[in-house]
Structure 1
Amino acid sequence: MEHREVMSINLARLLKEGGTVRASGVVREAFLVGEERFPLEGEATWQVSVSSVGGDEYWLSGEVKGVALMECRRCLKPTPTPIHAYFQHMLRYEQGLEAVAFHEEAEDEYYAFGKPDLDLLPFLTEAFVTEMPYTVLCQEGCKGLCPVCGADRNLVDCGHEEEGFHPFTALKNLLPEL
């Protein structure tokens, strides 16, 4: 299957004739959410289908998979993390609508669109980023960074001892006064 970098799908034929339209492509380098950048190792591939379900309603379903580069929670090393996300959304065509808009009415949720070219990047980004784990480890026994000098303890033994934190340590100094 040939993958394109274009992240939109043209629904003109679907709007006129019904049926199903499919597309696939790739996302290169990173997913962006506002100012936040989620880098990729290689590229993420995606595929979607949009099917007419009657009237002006359509069903968008798809998947996106790739390898995100996340920071290890202990040593901050870039850690490849495989992500495979699926998504499904109800779409409703509203002629003349300039941008895709999310609507929530009682128990009915859908995205309204008004142009035959539907930008898929927001759907792909949301699915991929929400499927990412909150934190990752580069390896199960990661030793992390030294709190004294910042050295990566997986690579060097800096010789610094980690002081154990105890919530009552500050009270130790009060004992002689009592």
Structure 2
Amino acid sequence: MEHREVASINLARLLREGGTARAAGVVREAFRVGEERFPLEGEATWKVAVSAVGGDEYWLSGEVEGVVLMECRRCLKPTPTPIHAHFQHLLRYQQGLSEVVFHEEAEEEYYAFGEPDLNLLPFLTEAFVTEMPYTVLCQEGCKGLCPVCGADRNLVDCGHEPEVHHPFLGLKDLLPEL
């Protein structure tokens, strides 16, 4: 199976004859969701299979794997984070439909499509981004940024001490003998 950069699969033969169609490829540089950009270290690889399940229904299953660069939650350093996501979706062919449309009816969800060339990038992006952790640390003991001068405490000792905020700190002057 040849890897390609175009994240689509042609389902013309599948629509006529049934069976299963397979494709694989790569996503380079980044995944994008609206204005948000999720940069990759290297490239993410993907593979999918679309199988006819009867009538105008098809089953899309696949996986996408890569390393995204996320900001460390303490020091903001780009941190390589491996992601491996699997996805499955029910598809319905509706001739003449110009774009893929998500439908949710009762307890059934499916994507309707009308063109033989199915753009896989939205499916790949959703699976990849959904699998990303909310935050990451560059290392377990990351010291973060200094709140006074902004220096990366993992690289330099700026000499600033963090302020200790304790809810009972104001009471220390009330009872000096304790």
1:5-62: CA deviations, max 9, x gaps? 0101010100010000000000000000000000000000000000000000000000
Q: Secondary structure at the match of 1:123?
A: helix
Q: Name 2:41's counterpart in structure 1.
A: 41
Q: Secondary structure at the match of 1:156?
A: coil
Moved runs in structure 1, 4+ residues, more than 2 A? 171-176
CA distance in 1, matches of 2:55, 2:173: 76
CA RMSD of aligned residues (A): 1.5
Which AA in structure 2 matches 1:99? E
1:19 counterpart = 2:19: yes
CA distance in 2, matches of 1:156, 1:104: 54
CA distance in 1, matches of 2:96, 2:27: 29
CA distance in 2, matches of 1:49, 1:113: 16
CA distance in 2, matches of 1:142, 1:174: 34
Alignment of 1:1-178 (within 5 A): 1-169=1-169, 171-172=170-171, 175=174
Unaligned runs of 5+ in 1: none
Deviation at 1:167, TM superposition (A): 2.7
1:121-175: CA deviations, max 9, x gaps? 0000000000000000101111100000000000000000011112344x45995
CA distance in 2, matches of 1:16, 1:82: 38
Which AA in structure 1 matches 2:132? M
CA distance in 2, matches of 1:115, 1:175: 76
Which AA in structure 1 matches 2:48? V
Deviation at 1:2, TM superposition (A): 2.5
TM-score, normalising length from structure 1?
Answer: 0.95
CA distance in 1, matches of 2:145, 2:154: 8
Deviation at 1:98, TM superposition (A): 1.2
Q: Secondary structure at the match of 2:9?
A: strand
Q: Secondary structure at the match of 1:47?
A: strand
CA distance in 2, matches of 1:147, 1:141: 17
Q: Secondary structure at the match of 2:149?
A: coil
CA distance in 1, matches of 2:168, 2:46: 53
Which AA in structure 2 matches 1:48? V
CA distance in 2, matches of 1:92, 1:167: 58
Percent identical among aligned pairs is 84
Unaligned runs of 5+ in 2: none
